Structure 1
Amino acid sequence: MSLGTRLRTRLLTWQPRPPELPDDLARLVQPDDPEWFAREMAIAAAPPWWVWRFVLGSFSWLVSIFGRVEVTGGVPEELRNGPLLLAANHIGDFDPFVVAVALHEVGVVPRIMATGGIMSAPVAGPLLERTGAIRVERGTELARHAVRVTEVALVSGGHVVAYPEGRVGLAADGWPERGRTGMARLALGLGVPVIPVSQWGAHEVLQYGNDWGKLRTAVRAVVRRPALKVHIGPPVQLDDLQMGRVGDANRARYRIAAAITRGLVPLRADETDRPAFVDPTRPTTAVAAYPGGVVPWDIP
């Protein structure tokens, strides 16, 4: 094997060293679990990686190359040292970067849920994993591992960013879908505060379709520098709901979607009916939880 081949192999298989897996968590890892599960459990139980803190503090300005980051709202100081579920609307592939920068600006160190495809990529995947990102293998039996890792992260005081919609939103008018009950069940089961994170503008940086159009929209964003708006709202009121009580997970789901939608309304002041930027590669096969951003105030 040539030197070049050996170096390439080492690069493609490189992993940053994970923290030690606590004994009480090691007992939860079974022989048939995927090899990454133990690493993610160990990372979830540990404090945020110093490299991740350094990157957020020193290189957040890179996101500003693609647009003007505008952050409003914040996380109450008394909640920043405890576990948090940060529920964000998902508008495009670039928005995790915008959300991470915005949350760092208000004193939060985010652990972001990411698709298995991204987490399996050479170099970038292992780095993302080491930052505390949680792998989500949607539609497979491995999806339950994401729940277990998230529970460990939250019990350990982590700040987990999740997308209730479970994907990039596909509503024709761009408003958030109602989402699934997974986040609601986690919040009710662990008693963790849910902070709504509403965002707009990041969908202009990278188009939905995975082709050369992504490069075109990225270059266009560098030239135009769209506003990348993020609003962090007050905690969603869930105190009157209980895990296991019939209908409460569904009620929590709608309250979370309502909170995200309300925070999004001022960010979309001139785009309530339809996004000003229309991505022809993005399907419009879903329906928003609250079409037009109109949220009734008597949500149960």
Structure 2
Amino acid sequence: MFYWFLKWIALGPVLRVIFRPQTEGAEHVPDDGAAILASNHLSYADWLFMPLTLTRRVTFVAKAEYFTSPGIKGWLQKQFFSGAGQVPIDRSGASAAEGALSAAKRILGEGDLFGIYPEGTRSHDGKLYRGKTGVARLALETGVPVIPVAVVGTDVVAPPGKKFGSFTRPVVRFGKPLDFSRYAGMENDRYILRSITDEIMYEIMRLSGQEYVDKYASQAKADDKAAAAEAARADDERGETRKLAS
């Protein structure tokens, strides 16, 4: 009940009036029954705008810290994330992926919509990165369809690394449901899992228009960070050389 208050009475109308998000293909999302919504991930605002375009609740997993912080602030934070369709998951341990999968299966088993970001983390440069195979395993183990989703413009509203961005009208595009029932019983075949995941990512790429990079987003971030550090070190060395030469 708190979720509907948050969405329609408090936060929803504000976001709708200010940003006027556009929706395409919402008819591909079933009016009832379970489905996986597999989306690109440009900004922390994605999980606000994508569910806002639907009449059904979409549940995601979120860091357990959002639900366990002490004090009044912690309580308000817990109410906000719980009401907004988030469920806690400890992402620090080795069993984080299994915990997320278990939570997702429970949600889908109740006939609800589950939102997932196959890239595993936000894109730091607007490109679309290689998907992790958890989405494929989830689809095969539950037998529910996967609906590819592209969220466009949220990285302008809330850019990575910044609290505030600039105004634009975000667009949320829903693709046709993908049925992987032909692979039933093959959830332990890593080649099948990779094939399914790549098919999902291709559809997301087609909907979003993003450049695709066949590398995990976390690795791309680490590589770019290392390259930036190396460039800064080289600049420092050149500066020291100029000082010595003068």
Instruction: Give the TM-score band, short-chain normalised.
Output: 0.7 to 0.9
Describe the SS at the equivalent of 1:55.
helix
1:204 alignment partner in structure 2: 156
Q: Which residue of 2 aligns with 1:249?
A: 193
**What is the CA–CA distance in structure 1 between the aligned matches of 2:135 and 2:39, rounded to whole Å?**
11
The aligned residue for residue 57 of structure 1 is 8
Provide the C-alpha distance between the structure 1 equivalents of 2:169 and 2:22, rounded to a whole number of angstroms: 7
2:91 maps to which of 133, 138, 163? 138
Question: Would you say the 8 A contact 1:66–1:205 is kept in 2?
Answer: no
Partner of residue 36, structure 2: 85
CA distance in 2, matches of 1:54, 1:260: 31
Q: Is the 8 A contact 1:66 1:226 kept in 2?
A: no
TM-score, normalising length: structure 2: 0.74
1:114 match: 62
Q: Which one-letter code corresponds to 2:23 in the other structure?
A: V
Query: CA 1:142–1:207 in 2, change beyond 3 Å: closer, same or farther?
Result: same
The one-letter amino acid of 2:115's match is V
Aligned length: 208
Equivalent residue, structure 2, for 1:214: 163
Do the aligned residues in 2 keep the contact of 1:118 with 1:125 (CA within 8 Å)?
Answer: yes
> Structure 1 residues 285, 137: closer, same or farther in 2, change over 3 A?
farther
1:166 maps to which residue? 120
State the SS of the aligned residue for 1:247: helix
- What are structure 2's unaligned runs of at least 5 residues? 213-219, 225-246
Match of 2:106 among 152, 155, 171: 152
Tell me the amino acid that sits aligned with residue 238 of structure 1: F
1:257 aligns to what SS in structure 2? helix
Are 2:6 and 2:83, in contact at CA under 8 Å, matched by a contact in 1?
no
Aligned pair partner of 1:182 in 134, 140, 147:
134
Q: Distance in 1 between matches of 2:39 and 2:7?
A: 19
Q: How far apart, CA to CA, are the structure 2 residues paired with 1:204 and 1:120?
A: 30
Residue 260 of structure 1: SS of its match in structure 2? helix
List per-residue Cα deviations over 1:243-263 (Å, max 9, x = no partner).
233511111110110111111
Gaps (5+ residues) in structure 1? 1-49, 274-281, 287-300
Q: TM-score, normalised on structure 1?
A: 0.62
Task: Show the counterpart of 1:231.
Answer: 173
SS at match of 2:163: helix
For 1:230, give the aligned amino acid: V
Provide, for residues 213-243 of structure 1, a one-character-per-residue CA deviation record: whole Å limited to 9, x for no partner: 414x2xxx3xxx3020110111124232232
